[in-house]
Structure 1
Amino acid sequence: MDRLTAVRVFVEVADRGSLTQAAEHLDMSAAMVSRYLAAVEDWFDARLLHRTTRKVSLTDAGLAALPSCRQLLEIATEARHLAAARNREPAGVLRVTTAGSFADAQLTAALADFQRQHEQVEIVLSVGDKPTDLVAERVDLAVRITNTLDPAMIARPMARCRSLLCAAPAYLERYGKPETAEDLQRHRCIAHAFGIGKQYRFTRNGADLAVPVNWSFHTNETAVLRRAVLCGAGIGMLPTYYLGDDLGAGRLVPLLPDHEPEVLGIHAIYLSRQHQPLALRLLVDFLAERFAGDPAPWDRGLDLPDLS
């Protein structure tokens, strides 16, 4: 029986405290997990786990063996990565997550281009705005748009995310165009999130400005916000990476150009620089190069204030 797999099974059971959960994660039967555990205990010549009908816990021998088992798995993983690097051909699965709107507007095309260069890399892309536990969810790379970073993670800056206040021509024809920030109080505005304060925040002439508004529509998804604005439901604040075609075609009209919404960072977030798979390192470098520059590629050609 493969000892490395047996060690991996032992570590998984120790981490999850359950044979059943470990079996589900490893895509094995519970009987197979039990056989691997028996094999690793024979190898160590010690009982490593206490088993009951409800839970599994480590014996003293198991507690002593667990760090070495983790190290063994790390060494095996690093050896595979070194072999892949020697062959100069990345392979394997990369699990990536990002906001749905950024995936739609920018990241999906970038990942497709990356795969054309590295056909042995499989991409699993999940979308959502909620914070992601990279360890628990087995995510290799999170592309996040935020100014609040977890110091426990590695965050590589890739670009700046700017936003514009905008509305559809049909909305402006019906309700008029706001000429000042104070005019927004008389308009129908669309909120990106639930339970946020009733205000927009801008920077104007170097000063921060909070403008009271009345929300008429709430959504937690940028794609839905954009669609609501296009339908004439109200005024919305949208990221410029999602707006180029709409502005160019006249489907959306920018408002209050001298009021700059908060600028956010777009970051590649991952767990560690150590033992990093070749495919992940190449992907992060690829995305950083693709989105590099100030202004960002999607902002070139837009009439935006200079941030330098």
Structure 2
Amino acid sequence: MDRLTSARVFVEVADRASLTQAAERLGMSPAMVSRHLAAAEEWLGSRLLHRTTRRVSLTDAGQAAMVSCRQLLELAQEMQHRAGDRSREPDGTLRITTSPSFAEAQLTAALVDFQRHHQRVRVDLLVVDRAVDLVEDRIDLAVRISNTLDPGLVSRALTQCRSVLCAAPSYLARHGHPGTADELKTHPCIGHAFGSGTTYRLTRAGRAIEIPVSGSLFTNETAILRRAVLAGAGIGMLPTYFVTEQLRRGELVQLLPDHEPEVLGIHAVYLSRRHQPLALRLLVDFLAARFGGATAPWDAPPGKRVPR
């Protein structure tokens, strides 16, 4: 007998604790349900259910098999969706949110490229430097940069967010280069109100250190922080996705390269894996392919960057 169907029958019977109700739900006769259960037990080599005239319950082997059978059915459903996706054109509106700096530097171009392939998909992009409520704001997808995610949401890792300590040549000409992490305490450091704040968390030779810093300018917006650093106001900690070009052109200079700021994850975050719009599934796959890999595309050496 079809093993996938037998697994579906077993799960339905276990969920409803009734062969009769499972048969009605599946559109089968009780006799056919019994045959599928027998086939599942023969296939798995264990008795899966305790059956009486009034009650059906799982054996210990049935409890263990239930987990695997559910995973098998979910995988089969996912394969079916993806096979069907090839013959359908996605459409509809996707509401997406991310930080202003990541939207400006990376995500907007990625979304434009995605829409070139899927012209019937409309995107509403909400850029805010805070984590919005996906339910309240009717968000389909959030691209978040964090190591702390809401456990009630589904996430898929896209890549890593690395940062650098940097300053403008004009600032360094006036104040000099800090030679050690401790010397950062004597320099004005521009802080991110929701990020580094007044403490720089660094790793050197596998050892984590925290350096308290001070300055006269703090902001909640990464673009403002970058503008202030470019203007020579002080030292800043900035994500590489946002300053790679400025570093390459010499407009900013990396400081203390053997001290790495905390590495954060970049994640696609959404409400559920079930009943996802085709456009959303395709977009998450597209972003994982565009940004994923051993090294984020903006961190790869210029000659080794793969066109996206």
TM-score (norm 1): 0.69
How far apart are the structure 2 equivalents of 1:211 and 1:197?
A: 11
1:100 maps to 2:100: yes
Checking the alignment, whether the CA contact within 8 Å between 1:166 and 1:235 is kept in structure 2 is yes
How far apart are the structure 2 equivalents of 1:154 and 1:120?
A: 26
Checking the alignment, whether the CA contact within 8 Å between 1:189 and 1:235 is kept in structure 2 is yes
Structure 1 residues not aligned, in runs of 5+: 1-80, 303-308
Checking the alignment, whether the CA contact within 8 Å between 2:166 and 2:252 is kept in structure 1 is yes
* Partner residue in 2 for 1:212: 212
In structure 2, the CA distance between the partners of 1:195 and 1:248, relative to structure 1 (3 Å rule), is closer
Paired positions, count: 221
Checking the alignment, whether the CA contact within 8 Å between 1:194 and 1:218 is kept in structure 2 is no
- Look up the equivalent residue of 2:198 and give its one-letter code: K
Which is greater in Rg? 2
SS in 2 for 1:177: coil
> Structure 1 residue 88: deviation in Å?
1.1
- Look up the equivalent residue of 1:188 and give its one-letter code: P
Map 1:1-308 onto structure 2 (within 5 A): 85=85, 88-193=88-193, 198-301=198-301
Checking the alignment, whether the CA contact within 8 Å between 2:191 and 2:197 is kept in structure 1 is no
How far apart are the structure 2 equivalents of 1:105 and 1:194?
A: 19
- Look up the equivalent residue of 2:110 and give its one-letter code: A
In structure 2, the CA distance between the partners of 1:86 and 1:216, relative to structure 1 (3 Å rule), is same
SS in 2 for 1:275: coil
Deviations along 1:12-39, one digit per CA (max 9) or x if unpaired, are xxxxxxxxxxxxxxxxxxxxxxxxxxxx
How far apart are the structure 1 equivalents of 2:121 and 2:212?
A: 48
Checking the alignment, whether the CA contact within 8 Å between 1:216 and 1:234 is kept in structure 2 is no
SS in 2 for 1:136: coil
In structure 2, the CA distance between the partners of 1:179 and 1:195, relative to structure 1 (3 Å rule), is closer
> Structure 1 residue 212: deviation in Å?
1.9
What stretches of structure 1 move > 6 A for 4+ residues in a row? none
- Look up the equivalent residue of 2:266 and give its one-letter code: I
How far apart are the structure 1 equivalents of 2:195 and 2:211?
A: 17
> Structure 1 residue 86: deviation in Å?
7.7
> Structure 1 residue 87: deviation in Å?
5.0
How far apart are the structure 2 equivalents of 1:120 and 1:190?
A: 43
Checking the alignment, whether the CA contact within 8 Å between 1:145 and 1:264 is kept in structure 2 is yes
SS in 2 for 1:144: strand
* Partner residue in 1 for 2:7: none
How far apart are the structure 2 equivalents of 1:175 and 1:278?
A: 54
Deviations along 1:105-148, one digit per CA (max 9) or x if unpaired, are 00000000000000000000010121111111000000000000
How far apart are the structure 2 equivalents of 1:193 and 1:115?
A: 34
- Look up the equivalent residue of 1:190 and give its one-letter code: I
In structure 2, the CA distance between the partners of 1:199 and 1:128, relative to structure 1 (3 Å rule), is same
How far apart are the structure 2 equivalents of 1:194 and 1:266?
A: 16
> Structure 1 residue 160: deviation in Å?
0.3
> Structure 1 residue 85: deviation in Å?
4.5
Checking the alignment, whether the CA contact within 8 Å between 2:179 and 2:256 is kept in structure 1 is yes
How far apart are the structure 2 equivalents of 1:164 and 1:101?
A: 15
How far apart are the structure 1 equivalents of 2:289 and 2:187?
A: 40
Task: Give aligned-pair identity as a percent.
Answer: 64
> Structure 1 residue 200: deviation in Å?
1.0
How far apart are the structure 2 equivalents of 1:248 and 1:196?
A: 24
Structure 2 residues not aligned, in runs of 5+: 1-80, 303-308
> Structure 1 residue 281: deviation in Å?
0.3
TM-score (norm 2): 0.69
How far apart are the structure 2 equivalents of 1:152 and 1:93?
A: 24
> Structure 1 residue 199: deviation in Å?
2.1
Checking the alignment, whether the CA contact within 8 Å between 2:167 and 2:252 is kept in structure 1 is yes
